[in-house]
Structure 1
Amino acid sequence: LTLLGLGLSGMIGTSFVGQPGVRLPNLDIPVISSIPVVGRLIFGQDPVFYISIALTAAVMWFLFRTRTGLTLRSIGDSHTSAHALGIKVIRYRYLAVIFGGACAGLAGGHLSLVYTPQWVENMSAGRGWIALALVVFASWRPWRVLAGAYIFGAVWIGQLHAQAFGIPVPSQFLSSLPYLATIAVLVLISRNKRLTMMNTPASLGQPFVPDR
C-alpha cells in the first residue's frame, strides 16, 4: 500500500510540479505574539499547529472520558471479548482507520501548504514511518505523541538551520539526523520489553473474524 500510495500520488501530482502553491498564513495573536522568543514560538504559528494541539486534547478526552472511547480501547485489548458483548468490532475498526487516515491527510496538507508550499514528489520523505515510531515511543498516549512529534520536529528543523549556518558537517549526515534519532529511540525502547509492551493494545495487528 505504501508503494501504491507513492506511485499514485506521483502520477496525480505530475501536473502540479513546479507550480507555486498557496501558503497558509501564520496566526499572529496581537500583543502576545510580540513577546520575545516565546511569543513568536507559540503564538505566531500556522493554523495546523493549533489544530494539532486541539485535536490531541479532543482525542484524549474521547479515549479516556467517553463511553465510545472506552469501547474502542476495549476492542484494542480484546476484540473477541468485545464481540461477545455485542460490540460491532469491524465497524469500530473501520471508523478508527478512517479517522487515522484523515489525520494523515491533515499532516500531508501541512507539508504542501505550510512546510513547503508547493508540490514535490515524495515530499513526505519517510515522515510517516517516523510517526509510527512516535506512537511506540509515546507508549500509545496522545499527549506523549504530541510532545514526541515536536521533539522530532525540532531535530528536523535543527539540521536545516545547521546547514544554513554553514556548520562544517556533511549535509548528508545532518539530513539523516531525524532518522538516526528515530532508530536510536526504537533501539533503546526495544531493549526493555516491559517498556515496549506498555499500553500496547493486545489485539494490535490481529485480524478479526467474527463467528458465523
Structure 2
Amino acid sequence: MIAVLDQILQVGFLAAIVRIATPLIFATLGEMFSERSGVLNLGIEGIMLISAMTGFSAAYYSGSLWVGIAAAAATGALLGFLHAVLTVALGLSQHVAGIGLTLFSTGLAFFLFRLIFGQQATPPSITGFATVPIPLLSQIPVLGPVIFNQFTLVYIAILAVPLAAFVLYRTPWGLALRMAGENPRAADSAGVSVIRIRFQAVVLGGALMGIAGAFLSMAQFNAFTFGVISGRGWVAIALVVFGRWDPWRCAGAALLFAAIDALQLRLQASGLGHIPYQAFLVLPFVLTIVAMALISRNAVAPAALLKPFRREER
C-alpha cells in the first residue's frame, strides 16, 4: 500500500493524467459536436487510427510535426465528410455507416502503412513533440509542472474546452447546431439549413478526432502501431454520454478516465506482482462501464439524435 501511495502522490502522476486526457478531450469534443447536431459517429475509432497513421507518415517524411497534425486533421475531416454524406445526405443508418467507416478506415490504415513503410524489422519512429514550459507559470508549485509544462497540443486541448462551450452556447452557429439536434423541423422553419449544420458539425468532429489520433502517434508514443488507439474512440463515445453532451462535463469525464488509466499504470509499477497486469489494463474500461450504467439512466440525449432529416417529409 505504501508503494502505491508513493506512486500516486507525485506531481508526475498528475501531469500524466493531463497528458493521457488530451486525446480523449479532442475525441470527446469531436463526438459531442457531431451528436449535438443529431448525428452519431461510430466511425471515431477508425478515424482516429487512420489519422494517427497519416499524421505520423506526413511528419516522418516532411520533418514537420505540424504538417503531420494538419494531415491528421484533414484526414479526420475528410472521413467526417464521408460519414455526413452517408448519414445526413443519404439518410442511411448512423449505426451501420459508423461501424462500416471504422472497418474501412482500420483496414485502409493497415494497408497504407505497409505500403508506405514496408515490412521493417524496426518500426519507424519520429522525434515527437517536446514539452514547452510556460515562463513563470511553470514555476508555480504543483500546478506549474502539471498544467504549464506540457506539450503544445495539451495547451490547445485545454483551451479547446472553454472555446467549445463558448461556440456551443454563445454563438448563432452553436444555437443552430443545438436546434438541429433537438428539433430540426423548428430549425428549418426558422431558416436554418439543418443539412449544412450537420455536415459542418460532423466534419469539425472528424477533424478533432483526427488530432486526437495524431497526438497518440506523434506525442505520446512517437510511433505508429496497430494498437495505438486501443479502444479510446469507443471510450470517447461513452464519455460523451457520461458528460451529458456538455463540453465542460465531457472534459471532466475525460480527466476521470485518464486518472484511472494513470492509476493502473502506477499500480503496475508499484510492484504488485501477484496481480496479473491484465487486471490493471482492464480497470479503466470496467469502471467506465460501471459509471455509464449508473449515469446513463438520467442522461438525456439530443432529441433528434439518430434521426435523419428530410425537408420533403412532414
TM-score, length basis structure 1: 0.92
1:10 maps to what in 2?
Answer: 110
The question of 1:64 aligning with 2:164 is answered: no
1:100 maps to what in 2?
Answer: 205
1:85: Cα distance to partner?
Answer: 2.4
1:25 maps to what in 2?
Answer: 130
The question of 1:86 aligning with 2:86 is answered: no
Name stretches of at least 5 consecutive residues in structure 1 with no aligned partner: none
1:94: Cα distance to partner?
Answer: 0.5
The question of 1:181 aligning with 2:181 is answered: no
Residue type of the alignment partner of 2:279: F
Greater relative contact order (CA < 8 Å, ≥ 6 in sequence): 2
Separation in structure 2 between the aligned mates of residue 165 and residue 8 of structure 1, nearest angstrom? 39
The question of 1:171 aligning with 2:171 is answered: no
The question of 1:129 aligning with 2:230 is answered: no
The question of 1:161 aligning with 2:250 is answered: no
Name stretches of at least 5 consecutive residues in structure 2 with no aligned partner: 1-100
The question of 1:208 aligning with 2:309 is answered: yes
Residue type of the alignment partner of 1:204: L
Separation in structure 1 between the aligned mates of residue 143 and residue 168 of structure 2, nearest angstrom? 31
Residue type of the alignment partner of 1:158: L
Residue type of the alignment partner of 1:207: P
Separation in structure 2 between the aligned mates of residue 66 and residue 20 of structure 1, nearest angstrom? 42
The question of 1:110 aligning with 2:210 is answered: no
Q: Percent identity?
A: 38
Separation in structure 2 between the aligned mates of residue 154 and residue 21 of structure 1, nearest angstrom? 27
Q: Deviations over 1:71-130 (max 9, x none)?
A: 111111111221222221111100000000010011011101111110101310110011
Moved more, 164-173 or 200-209: 164-173
Q: CA RMSD in A?
A: 1.6
1:161: Cα distance to partner?
Answer: 2.1
Moved more, 153-162 or 142-151: 153-162
Separation in structure 1 between the aligned mates of residue 127 and residue 310 of structure 2, nearest angstrom? 46
Separation in structure 1 between the aligned mates of residue 139 and residue 160 of structure 2, nearest angstrom? 26
Q: 2:224 aligns with which of 119, 136, 147?
A: 119
1:30: Cα distance to partner?
Answer: 2.7
Separation in structure 2 between the aligned mates of residue 153 and residue 13 of structure 1, nearest angstrom? 28
Aligned residues: 207
